[in-house]
């Protein structure tokens, strides 16, 4: 729907982010640079996704010309603990058991960078899980293989469908891209 003045580059391999951006009416290319996702141990959890999104954008700083670089990072936080992507089945099961029957936060940070500016945004959604049985967790891990997802789950997958009775905030933030924020951030790069 928006016609941008510059080519948009989504710096993310996430098929969910790509689909959301496409569904929001944007034309874009995908280009990813390997970026380490380390952050200071003392950094408060709500600051981490923006820090990482900026880090991913800055990887393009030396070669940016007339493009708009869009990056994002999503974390899951429960009891102040950040749950990243699980390394294996055992860690995925541990994470889902930790989330079971509880409320947690999903925070997505976004960075929009051009050669002249860099802006970042953050959005938080509260997610409520019902109690999950071990059988449900095992079925989910075996069939959906959530190893590329923070907190070991996708809200759009089986465990989200059957295990999340409600959220407070943006569903799309939980999927990994707060589309309402991205849309507003990119409006300023549109033809009048």
Q: Is-catalytic flag, 134?
A: no
Contacts of 16 (CB under 8 A, 6+ apart): 154, 156, 175, 176, 177
Name the catalytic one among 73, 79, 88, 157: 73
What is the spatial distance between Cα 56 and Cα 135, in angstroms, rounded to a whole number? 37
Tokens of 17: 């982010």
Range list of H helices, the chain? 15-23, 48-58, 89-99, 134-144, 158-163, 171-175, 179-187
What is the spatial distance between Cα 124 and Cα 168, in angstroms, rounded to a whole number? 9
3-state class percentages of the chain: helix first, strand second, coil last, to nearest 5: 35, 25, 40
Distances (CA, A) of 67 to 9, 17, 26, 108: 7, 18, 14, 22
Residue environment code for 17-46, b if the CB has 16+ CB neighbours within 10 A, otherwise e: beebbeebebebeeeeeebeeebeeeeebe
Q: Which residues are catalytic?
A: 73
């Amino acid at each position: 729907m928006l016609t941008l003045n510059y080519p948009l580059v989504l710096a993310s391999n996430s098929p969910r982010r790509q689909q959301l951006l496409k569904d929001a009416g944007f034309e874009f290319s995908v280009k990813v640079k390997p970026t380490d996702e380390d952050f200071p141990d003392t950094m408060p959890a709500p600051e981490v996704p923006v820090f990482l999104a900026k880090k991913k954008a800055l990887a393009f700083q030396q070669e940016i010309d007339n493009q708009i670089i869009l990056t994002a990072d999503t974390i899951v936080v429960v009891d102040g603990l950040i749950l990243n992507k699980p390394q294996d089945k055992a860690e995925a099961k541990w994470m889902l058991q930790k989330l079971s029957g509880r409320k947690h936060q999903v925070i997505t940070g976004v960075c929009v960078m051009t050669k002249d500016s860099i802006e970042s945004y953050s959005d938080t959604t509260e997610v409520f899980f019902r109690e999950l049985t071990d059988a449900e967790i095992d079925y989910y891990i075996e069939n959906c293989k959530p190893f590329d997802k923070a907190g070991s789950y996708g809200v759009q997958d089986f465990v989200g469908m059957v295990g999340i009775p409600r959220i407070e905030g943006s569903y799309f933030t939980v999927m990994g891209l707060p589309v309402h924020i991205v849309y507003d951030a990119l409006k300023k790069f549109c033809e009048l």
